[in-house]
Chain A
Amino acid sequence: MALSPFGSRSPSMTVHSPNTAIRLRASAVQNSASGPVASAKAAQNGDRELTEQLNIDVRDRYVKDKKLGEGTYAVVYLGHLKHNTSSFVAIKKIKVNAEYKDGLTMDAIREVKYLQELAHPNVIALHDVFSSKDQNLNLVLEFLPGGDLEMLIKDTDIHYGAADIKAWMGMLARGVWFCHENFVLHRDIKPNNLLIAADGEVKLADFGLARSFADPYLNMTHQVITRWYRPPELLYGARQYSGAVDVWSMGMVFAELLLRVPFVAGNTDLDQISKICEAFGTPTEDNWPGVTKLPNYIPTDNGQRIPLSGRDFFMRQFPTAGPVGADLLMSMCALDPRKRSTAVQVLRNNWWTIDPRPTSNEDLPRKSGGTKKMGDDLTRRGGELDEGLFKSAARQLDFGPIK
């Protein structure tokens, strides 16, 4: 992934570079004319003016149209380029938070830090960043009017098949793979962070919990990823983990797409662990060496141990995926993160090439009302569950006949 830092998607950088050069030259001329003391002062002054001017230039390129959604953390507006009224963008204005009196919230910093590095069709594009009055941070994001996957899963009027699921999963897996290839963990993959563009492309959004990984001796928090999509190692409090956490979330999204209800939906973290054990089996030293050493590991009695679910469990539970798809899902849901497929391995599975062929983007099912949904999705803080989400859906899955 040799990406030059210059390959920025921010149009403002390229547009304004000549301007910058002129200003710098002008200040240089000024400096050489006056004495060294004065020049240092002028340079300082010029610098501040320069950054301010750049910010104003960027800000003036966009026009905010209307509010799409508001949350505790951010407000999202629909906007467009000043000179082109048909080029829509979403402007996410981060609220100045009481919690972070001095400085910005971590979410905003993470989002800017990682999104500006990643340019891929399946990752939401960050066009620009500017600050408006009151030092508010504004992120100019790609406008994705197609809503999100959660909306499609929940809408019972929409019917989709194995080919559609394969297309969506393909796009999701590519986005996740690209992040991992560039050593970024998303850490909040769930259907309502998977936004849909006007052309049907699924894009990974909300990088508020993202971070880089693979640093040894640097602990990471285990309080990430929305509970239903959280892998067992995070529930057990692992402080060093890898891309496997995102792959688990991907597997959960896959299962949810197939079942149209969240697959393992616990009410608390403990409940989540027990649900995972019920569905996939109890983690033991045999099937997951070292699991008992994890900080929050909860030992289970020998009598209550549930054996690992094998292929036939996945085949029975997810008949629509087909045998190869069930195998793929099983490899994404391995309890031991070392045995779980990586994003590359997921994409190398031959499920993608066998029948049915993934639906092309223009034929994917879609739903109106996505604009508001995008507003809601972008204002949510990472790792939160929507209140009232899936309230009517059956949360308790019956595994009675399987045991």
Chain B
Amino acid sequence: MASKDATSRRDDDEVCPVCKSSRYLNPDMRFLINPECYHKMCESCVDRIFSGGPSNCPVAGCRKTLRKNKFRKQTFEDIGVEREVDIRRRVMQILNRREEEFDSKRAFDDFLEQREEIIMNLVTRVDVAKTESQLQKYATENMQSIRTNQALEVEEAHSFQARMTLEQEEAKLRRQAARQEYEIERRELQAGREDFLSRLASGSSTDAAAIAREGHKVLLKKSSARRSEEERIRQKQAALRGTEGKRGASGLSSMESAGGPDTGLVKGLRKIKTPEPEKPYDPFMGYVPEKRDYYSLQSYYPSTYLDPIRQDTRMQAGGYDLGEYYSRTLLEAFAGLSCFVGEEISQRDASKPVATEGAAMAATGGENAS
């Protein structure tokens, strides 16, 4: 809007500093600037000079090489403001850390101050080379987090827009409902009155007072019933809105896992702990099946004791498996070979004080004090 104001100003004296043609002669003249040097010139000059590729700025004393695609309309009348806004936008796009990425409010404030300092340095041309290199370094190092934060910002803007339109829609509906309600009430009042009059006309004069009272009561009842009905609908809608809002919020919070290492430029960033990748499901949960440390199991052991079983189809049919017998016998023969009771006891005793670390610390603390 500001740009429109700037260009639509019918200032006949305005003159292009390059070709010296004035608005008086060329009423459709529009001025463009290039953020490289912010020298103003008219559209036809830009076409004329830069259509053939990059060229030097035609303003005397300015040697900046300009490109046509960088020319744009001026937003602010003051070129200084225009330039500061451009710089600010660029720096903000790079240093786009969010408050939730910092350890404390203090750290975030420090970051904001630092950003402001960088912007002012660039605007006032103090330490430009150093600041630029700092920015460049930061941008390359934190490409990922910059991108995610940009995406977050875009999403926030979208959701804000959506919320605003929703609210407007709701307000419109509310207004409509109110109008409708008023209309219905008015119509009912009218109908009640007519009814009352007709009943008065047909009935005797003695029960006129009774009819009047009754009519009034019915009217009241109707309106209160309607009100409660509407109240219920409104509550339902509010509940619906609530859940929707929550869903939106949760969607946003799930996005917040951006961040990177504590770089040299920005201090006090929260250490982001990436969630450990889920381990593949182990059906045995760490136990080792068929662990045989001291022996290997064979499928056949010659034994006259077991021969009758090998021939017994009934046992075989019941599912009896001699392999299990071999396995159990060997397990029992070798069981306990790797167990050292003494070691287990000392380990258990050693592990005990750990559980009461607090007590131990308290004890040593007491000693120190005395």
> A residues within 8 Å of B by Cβ?
1-7, 14, 120-121, 170, 173-174, 177-178, 181, 183, 213-217, 233, 238-245, 288-291, 293-295, 336-338, 340, 344, 347-349, 352-353, 357-358
Contact = CB atoms under 8 A, between A and B. Distances in A.
A3 B317 contact: no
13 contacts: A2-B293, A2-B336, A2-B339, A4-B336, A4-B339, A7-B339, A121-B285, A216-B322, A240-B318, A289-B317, A293-B317, A337-B318, A338-B321
Interface string B322-339: 101101100100111111
A2 B338 contact: yes
A242 B317 contact: no
Given A7-B344, A183-B331, A294-B314, A215 B291 contact: no
Given A291-B317, A294-B314, A344-B290, A216 B283 contact: no
Contacts of A243: 324
B339 A6 contact: yes
B328 A6 contact: no
What is the interface of chain A mostly: helix, strand, loop, or mixed?
loop
B324 A337 contact: no
Contacts of A347: 283-284, 289
Contacts of A233: 317-319
B301 interface: no
Nearest to A212: B328
A295 B317 CA distance: 11
A344 to B, nearest CB: 5
Interface string B127-171: 000000000000000000000000000000000000000000000
A14 B348 contact: yes
Given A121-B285, A352-B283, A358-B281, A245 B319 contact: yes
- Interface size range on B against A: 35 or more
B365 interface: no
Interface of B: 278, 280-281, 283-285, 287, 289-291, 293, 306, 309, 313-322, 324-325, 327-328, 331, 334-339, 341, 344-345, 348
Contacts of A357: 278, 281
Contact of A214 (B293, B324, B345): B324
Given A4-B339, A6-B341, A215-B325, A241 B318 contact: yes
Contacts of B324: 183, 213-214, 242-243
Contact of B317 (A181, A216, A294): A294
Given A7-B344, A238-B317, A338-B321, 8 more contacts: A1-B291, A3-B335, A4-B339, A216-B325, A290-B316, A348-B283, A349-B283, A353-B280
B320 A240 contact: yes
B341 A344 contact: no
A345 B48 CA distance: 82
A2 B283 contact: no
Nearest to A297: B317
Contacts of B325: 214-216
A125 to B, nearest CB: 16
A294 B320 CA distance: 12
Nearest to B313: A290
A183 B328 contact: yes
The 5 residue pairs across chains A and B that have the minimum distance between CB atoms = A337-B319, A238-B318, A290-B317, A4-B339, A240-B320
A4 B317 contact: no
Nearest to B288: A1
Contacts of A173: 283
A99 to B, nearest CB: 28
Nearest to B316: A290
B344 A6 contact: yes
Which of A1, A178, A291, A349 has the most B CB atoms < 10 Å from its CB?
A: A1
